[in-house]
Amino acid sequence: MAKNNMSFTIKGIESVNKYLDLQNNEFTMKAKKGINNATLFMLGEVKQSIAGRRAEPASVDTGRFLNSVNSEVDALVGKVFTNLNYALFLEYGSTKLKARKHFNNSLRRNKNKVQNIISSAIKKKTV
């Protein structure tokens, strides 16, 4: 009995892969931009909270804590941070001081805004 062999060729795989790579790069670039914008936004929010312009009490005396808050974006991770050792006590309180939660509350208040900033950047059409 004769065997029936079938073969097929897919054309255009290289150009599809090139297109997908382009899309991936564009997506990553937009996401980075979105995360950068969101991080800067959160930096502003935390500083506003420390300055007493949000629900938390102000934590400003010499301005050292306020000026120590900084931000950093590394790949797809944005951070808002301070290196001061007493910042943890301001955030979580101590036996002598009630918690002020500048970072935690700022994040909770603005979770949706941060998501919107990032998704808007991703959805933005490039010319």
Partner 1 sequence: MNAGSEFKDTALWLRNLILSGCTDPISGTRASNEKFVMTSWPQREVRFPYVTVEVTGMSADKMGMASESALMSLPFEVNVWSQSTAQRDSLAAQIIYLLRNNRLNTASGAVSQGLFDWRINNAFNLDEEGKRGVHRKVIEGEYKFISM
**Nearest CB to partner 1, comparing residues 36 and 81:** 81
**How open is the CA angle 112-113-117, to the nearest 5 degrees?**
120
Smallest separation (angstroms) from partner 1 to the CB of 88: 6
Chain contacts with partner 1 (rule: CB under 8 A):
88-89, 92-95, 98, 101, 104-105, 108, 111
Q: Are 120 and 113 in contact (CB under 8 A)?
A: no
The values of phi and psi at residue 99, to 5°, are -60, 145
Find, among 103, 117, 119, the residue nearest to 41 by Cα: 117
Residue with tokens 């312009």: 53
**How open is the CA angle 81-100-63, to the nearest 5 degrees?**
60
Smallest separation (angstroms) from partner 1 to the CB of 121: 23
Smallest separation (angstroms) from partner 1 to the CB of 103: 12
d(CA 127, CA 125): 6
